[in-house]
Structure 1
Amino acid sequence: MIVRFIRHPALAVVLAAACHAHAEPASTVLVTATRSPQALADVISDSTTIDAAQIARTGAGSIVDLLQRQRGIEVTRNGGAGSAASVYLRGANSNQSIVLVDGVRIGSSTTGAANWSAIPLTAIDRIEIVYGPLSALYGADAIGGVIQIFTKQGQGAPAVTGFAGYGSNNTRKADATVSGATDGAHSLRYALSAGKETSHGFSSTRPGLSSYNPDDDGYDRQNVAGHFGLQLAEGVHAGLVLLHSRLQADYDTGPSAYNTHSISSIATAGVFVSAQLLPTWRTLLQTAQTRDNSANYTSATAAGNTRIDTRQHFTTWQNDVQVGADLLQLLVEHRTEHVDTNGAPAMNRDRVTKAFAASYNARRGAHLLSASARRDDAVYGKQYTGAIGYGYQLARALRASASYGSSFRAPTYNELYFPNYGNAANRPEKGRNAEVGLRYDDGVNAVSASYYRNRLSDMLVNTTPCPFGAGYTGGCAYNVSRATLAGATLAGATRVKDVRLGVSADLQHPQDDSTGKRLIRRARRHATVSADYDAGAANAGVEVQLSGARFDNAANTSRLGGYGLVNLYATHALTRDWSALLRWNNVANKRYELARYYNTPGATLFVGLRFGVNLTGGAQQEAPWH
């Protein structure tokens, strides 16, 4: 096989923080799969987590790099770490999956996708990935799955942690966090972090692309994040979560004396109050706002600049009701989107979505059952989605599961309103997914296998000629395509003395049923292999990433070759408070493409120092900084 590869939201965040330390996989608490903290052993959905220890140990350079090594995920990027990137879950498009930060959705209303390059890894404590349709819980766009990012949280005595590093392409990174918690009737949890990263980068394009320019394309990313929680009374909590990240990144538009660049930012801010109203009833009220702003600067004059800003406001009322040992959840949501752009005034408008959802989770002996339903009402019409899942404990460590769910993706502002391209009559894309799975986990050895088949209809594509008539000379967005995302994922992990071993493989067939062609930039096969060795104060590991060939166009005539990458990393505790990190990516200096005529990093080195101390004396016991 290797040879062939080479040619609640806010309430849940608070509760999970108390439960999710660095536990064994079998006892891990997951929030995203049900919108409430739930033991992994009781989660029917196929899912995985990346905790703070993993992030710190491996020293990943960006969130895109980190996700690229996870099962069920492929990425593309138009150059280096600051360039435009897409993340595909189970073959679904980047705008067919939801991205949450501390329970708050982020993304652009014009493209429908998150700005992955602007998300700072330095602010992240852990990540949860749930695969498969979750529209019945989260609404529009959860066709491929949901990726939820949790920022750093405070616990225990006051502590300061920090990191500084330097690497290839004159890459420099630094971040610091102050965190902790107080005791007493009005306890306060707090974490405030800030980070900065700059790099000279490398040329994002190659000869053959009309926008080729041999100059280096660097980037500068700055971020601040905060997480605060206050106990107002017994069973009553209030909190504030926030994140702001600004990215300035160079890109190529052809030979030019002007340094073409973009400035983008993402920002989230949310407040919540949760209360245990009755022994069996907990309620959460949350309001939040997110922004996704971007501007392109292609000349020294204002005429050459474009700006697109998205603002979203969310209000969520979630009620968790215990019915014996079961959990009934009732959810009401209100979402307002607003777009402001200087290039297409027709897009400067609001869009409101009102939603109601209900779910029920039960366990009866060896049987697990989950069911959920939701109605979303927006300008594109009423959308009804549902899901049902069943799990059976065959043995203490072995469980089988099966599920079926529907989902949809809302048309973006571009597909509805962009002049000479969008059409207000465009309908949402629809998905119908069925899957079966098997999971074994005895606390030391873990093996999982899942097979899924997701049938998509009414897919929106760029169609030429356009059926809408005159005025659409360059094509238009139109519901014309059907697709099938089918595949199997295999994964395993074990520990042999001081060595952790992991492997995953995805065998998939993401096909455009209208043409019989494979969806662009998706491989039939991709896999990862990892080994990690602990030797007291030192830790060392190796990662192998494998991908088969992909196609860069819908006609499947422009082929991107398969590739294999080897990455090495090591950490060493120098003193009680200090440790060192070394990471060597792409050790064989493999040349490969994620997008035609766009460069990818060659062999790169990065070294760094970490610092972590408890302000009341002694070293920080955990290492959640990275």
Structure 2
Amino acid sequence: MSIQFQPTALVGAIALALGSTSSVFANEQKIATTSLDTMVVTASRSQQHIKDVPARLNVIDEKTIQQSPIADLPSLLTKEAALSVKQVGGYGQPASIFLRGSNAAHTLILQDGMRSNTATVAGTNLHLIDTTDIKQIEILKGPGSVQYGTDAIGGVIQLISKTPTKNSAFTTIEVGEKNTYKSILGVDAAENGYYAQIRGQRLETDGDQIISNQAKKAGFDQKGYSAKLGVDKDNFGLSAEFKENEGHGDYFSYGAPEAYDFTNRLYNVKGYLKLNPNLVWETRLSQFEDEYAIVKSAYPSTVITEQQEIDSNIQWQINAEHKLLLGVHYNKTEAESLNTFKDENDSTGYYLQHQYQNDVISTQAGIRVEDNQQFGTHTIGQLAGRYKLSPASSIYANVGTAFRAPIVGQIISEPAWWGGNPDLEPEESVSYEIGFDHLLVPSVTLYGSAFQTKVDNIMVSGALTNWVFENMGSATFNGAELGLKWTQDEFYANAEYAYIQAKNDDEDADLPNRPRHNFNLTIGWDNGQYGASTTLVAKGKAKDSRDIPGYAAIDMNAYWQVNPHLKTFVNIRNVGDTNYKTAVNDATSYYIASDRLASVGMTLKY
């Protein structure tokens, strides 16, 4: 499909949208700031108010996600100051995340509880996960291995999908420069505790120039759908969901054009049963598949990850203040590179967590014993607490250990050129954090935190033998965050600064791709019928084989809820059209970020 989109067409579309005449209806949308009453689940595996979490947890809410359907997951995460995103280009290009300075493989990605990190390369295909049916994204900063096992040294990012609450149908279309468009169609049904949901989506773009000295553009397209069925009653619930996203992307390797195909699928069955008012049994059965095939290259290849999980736990509300969680989690991972290797590993974790909650104190203490087929038994723990100094102020502290086991793709020994090392040892870490939240006045909240994570047995490629994975020494991640949230009637502003120092202890040198200085600012106005916001993302310089300069980029969004059935919106990403550098490509060039993308869209809802 080809869409000829020009700036004049954008202006015309905006004028047409704003010139429509209709009755004025206010809707129930809220200002895009996280409320203290927001419910989250990632920190403790059970619902709790965000204000009671004894850790720093941020939420990207549904309204922010819906501002621009063509915004991919790396773009959404960029607006977190303590999280650096290294994307080597725009749509469809690989993206790595560095949460509080930790390595790209130290952040666990979950979709409704299911692990979505790959097992052939460290990390995940973050840029290929669709967000069409996502209600909110929870970002837990700090170790989460007690709750979720391996990979959560730096933190956990969980995508939580929507559950229908009423009958509705909608379609959303957004079109923009570079022949970019995304269309979504969705239908929800809900009655007497039973619900069903289906979504379909398609995105295409001509893409951007991704290398500074090459004018070639890298196109990208994807399509997918999701479906969910369930029942939610007072004493029991059961749901089943399926998601699939597939597509095609272009990239360049040493100047030569190449291409890949991808498919990822998620199967999720979850249920709960209230054995009595204070005792709940929850079980989840999941499977995640990720296939990445290089189809245009001098060296074509296909790598596949398939993970299966069973997680079952009992939650016992002992009394009004004490809660106990006891569970077991099993993961089986199979990974292969076609015609190269095929291997598997499984791990079983046993976890116990106690929570105490009253009007003044909130605590969380947990322990996990992980029995890994190839790497033996590891025991990790966490102790955290939040204390309310007054109705307006609270402080918190936590300490936790975590680990990351080598993935299948790092330990296979054949073929030798792959670089696997079966003698690798897991990485182990200990983290400390203190923080505060203070309501300066009813409209202004100030918050801050300081943290340190030390990781031993860091895994690197080519350290001692060319391209072979080896355990090196240690790395330390130190930092602090300071943020301010302001709301006044229909106006709001959020600002956050993060200082992060990530060092290789053996060499006393900064680790690559981690800017020390990070600042985000969002200001906006929203009365439920009209709204507009502007976001500034600023990053200082970062290390690589040579320095990556710092940058500042501005995004803008505005919407008009014409009536209960029609919403129009406009987005301008990277207003200044800045081709800032994101990573080193070769001796003379850099990968560069996407330049300006202006778009308009509308949602029709019944």
TM-score by structure 2 length?
Answer: 0.90
Q: Distance in 1 between matches of 2:403 and 2:255?
A: 42
Tell me the equivalent position of 1:414: 409
Does the 8 Å contact 2:72/2:91 carry over to 1?
yes
Report the equivalent of 2:557.
569
2:578 corresponds to: 590
Distance in 1 of aligned mates of 2:459 and 2:448: 31
- Cα drift, residue 298 of structure 1: 2.6
From 462, 480, 489, the equivalent of 1:488 is 480
Tell me the equivalent position of 1:440.
438
Find the partner of 2:76 among 59, 63, 66.
66
Partner of 2:309: 314
Determine the structure 1 residue equivalent to 2:459.
460
Q: Which residue, out of 106, 111, 125, partners 1:101?
A: 111
Q: Secondary structure at the match of 1:415?
A: helix
Q: Specify the code of the residue in structure 2 equivalent to 1:224.
A: Y
**In the alignment, structure 1 residue 238 sits paired with structure 2 residue 232:** no
2:155 is the counterpart of 1:145: yes
Q: Are the aligned partners of 1:455 and 1:483 in contact in 2 as well (CA < 8 Å)? A: yes
Distance of aligned partners of 1:254 and 1:192 in 2 relative to their CA distance in 1, 3 Å threshold: same
Report the counterpart of residue 51 of structure 1 in structure 2.
Answer: 61
Give CA-to-partner distance per residue, 1:8-28, whole Å, 9 cap, x none: xxxxxxxxxxxx999961111
Query: Alignment partner of 1:559: what SS?
Result: coil
Report the counterpart of residue 229 of structure 2 in structure 1.
228
Q: Is 1:368 the equivalent of 2:369? A: no
**DSSP 3-state at the match of 2:291:** strand
Does residue 342 of the first structure (1) align with residue 306 of the second (2)?
no
Residue correspondences, number:
566
In structure 2, give the amino acid aligned to 1:434. Y
Q: Is residue 204 from structure 1 mapped to residue 210 from structure 2 by the alignment?
A: yes
Q: Which residue in 2 is equivalent to 1:608?
A: 601
Check whether the contact 2:490–2:527 (CA below 8 A) recurs between aligned residues.
Answer: yes
> Residue deviations 1:183-232, cap 9 Å, x none?
1xxx312221111100011232233xxxxx6432100111212232224x
- 2-structure distance, mates of 1:475, 1:254: 19
Query: How far off is 1:254 after superposition?
Result: 4.4
Q: 1:252-274, CA deviations, whole angstroms, 9 ceiling, x for partnerless residues? A: 12455xx6211112211011221
Q: CA deviation at 1:481?
A: 2.7
Once residues 453 and 123 of structure 2 are traced to their aligned partners in structure 1, the CA distance between those partners, rounded to angstroms, is: 20
Q: Which amino acid aligns with 1:584?
A: I
Q: Is the 8 A contact 2:345 2:408 kept in 1?
A: no
Please state if 1:165 is matched with 2:174.
Answer: yes
Deviates more, 1:589-598 or 1:368-377: 589-598
CA contact (8 A) 2:172 2:602 kept: yes
Between the aligned partners of 1:21 and 1:321, the Cα distance in structure 2 is 36
Equivalent of residue 332 in structure 1, options 328, 334, 337: 328
- 2:348 alignment counterpart: 354
Deviations, residues 42-91 of structure 1 (Å, cap 9, x unaligned): 21121011111222246661111111001311101111111111111111
Distance in 2, matches of 1:60 and 1:451, equals 34
Q: Distance in 1 between matches of 2:181 and 2:36?
A: 37
SS of alignment partner, residue 583 of structure 2: coil
* 2:395 aligned residue (400, 404, 408): 400
In structure 2, relative to structure 1, the CA distance for the partners of 1:66 and 1:49 (3 Å cut) is same
The answer to whether structure 1 residue 28 and structure 2 residue 38 are counterparts is yes
The Cα of 1:465 is off from its aligned counterpart by 3.8
Residue pair 2:55, 2:141 contacting (<8 A) in 1 also: yes
Q: Which residue of 2 aligns with 1:552?
A: 544
Amino acid in the other structure paired with 2:249: A
d(CA) in 1 for partners of 2:244, 2:51: 34
Task: Provide the identity percentage.
Answer: 22
Contact conserved, 1:155 with 1:190, CA < 8 A, in 2? no
- Which whole-Å CA distance do the structure 1 matches of 2:275 and 2:199 have between them? 33
Letter in structure 2 aligned against 1:309: I
SS at match of 1:91: coil
Looking at structure 1, the residues matched to 359 and 188 of structure 2 have their Cα atoms a distance apart, in angstroms, of: 41
Output the CA distance in 2 between the equivalents of 1:227 and 1:445: 39
> Which of 502-511 and 573-582 deviates more?
573-582
Deviations 1:109-147 (A, max 9, x none): 112312111111222221111110011111001011111
User: Is contact 1:123–1:224 with CA below 8 Å preserved after alignment?
Assistant: no
CA distance in 1, matches of 2:327, 2:49: 21
The match for 2:383 among 348, 363, 388 is 388
Alignment match, 2:511:
519
> Is contact 1:461-1:481 (8 Å) kept?
no
In the TM superposition, residue 40 of structure 1 has moved relative to its aligned partner by 1.5
Counterpart CA distance in 2 for 1:561 and 1:21 is 34
Indicate if the aligned counterparts of 2:210 and 2:593 stay in contact, CA closer than 8 A. Answer: yes
Distance change >3 Å, CA 565–CA 44, structure 1 → 2: same
Instruction: For residue 537 of structure 1, report the CA deviation from its aligned partner.
Output: 2.9
Question: Is residue 429 of structure 1 aligned with residue 451 of structure 2?
Answer: no
2:290 match: 292
Counterpart of 1:438 in 2: which secondary structure? strand
Mark the CA change 1:148 to 1:443 in structure 2 (over 3 Å): closer, same or farther: farther
Q: Say which is worse superposed, 303-312 or 28-37, in terms of deviation.
A: 303-312
Decide whether the 8 Å contact of 2:430 with 2:453 is kept in 1: yes
Q: CA deviation at 1:373?
A: 0.3
Cα-Cα RMSD: 1.9
Amino acid at match of 1:221: Q
Shift of 1:595: 1.0
Offset at residue 350 of structure 1 (A): 1.7
Question: What SS does structure 2 have at the residue aligned with 1:79?
Answer: coil
Q: Go from structure 1 to structure 2 and tell me whether the alpha carbon gap of 1:57 and 1:200 turns closer, same or farther (over 3 Å shift).
A: closer
Q: Name 1:195's counterpart in structure 2.
A: 201
Paired AA for residue 468 in structure 2: C
Aligned residue number for residue 252 of structure 1: 252
CA distance in 1, matches of 2:56, 2:360: 18
Residue 369 of structure 1 aligns to which amino acid in structure 2? T
Say whether residues 1:115 and 2:125 are aligned partners: yes
For residues 332-374 of structure 1, the C-alpha deviation after alignment (integer angstroms, 9 at most, x for no partner) is 01110001222422xx122010110000000244122210000
Secondary structure in structure 2 of the residue aligned to 1:368: strand
| Residues 550-593 of structure 1: CA deviation (Å, up to 9, x unaligned) | 0123xxxx001111112221111233311211111222222211
1:155 to 165, 171, 174: 165
* SS at 1:54 equivalent: helix
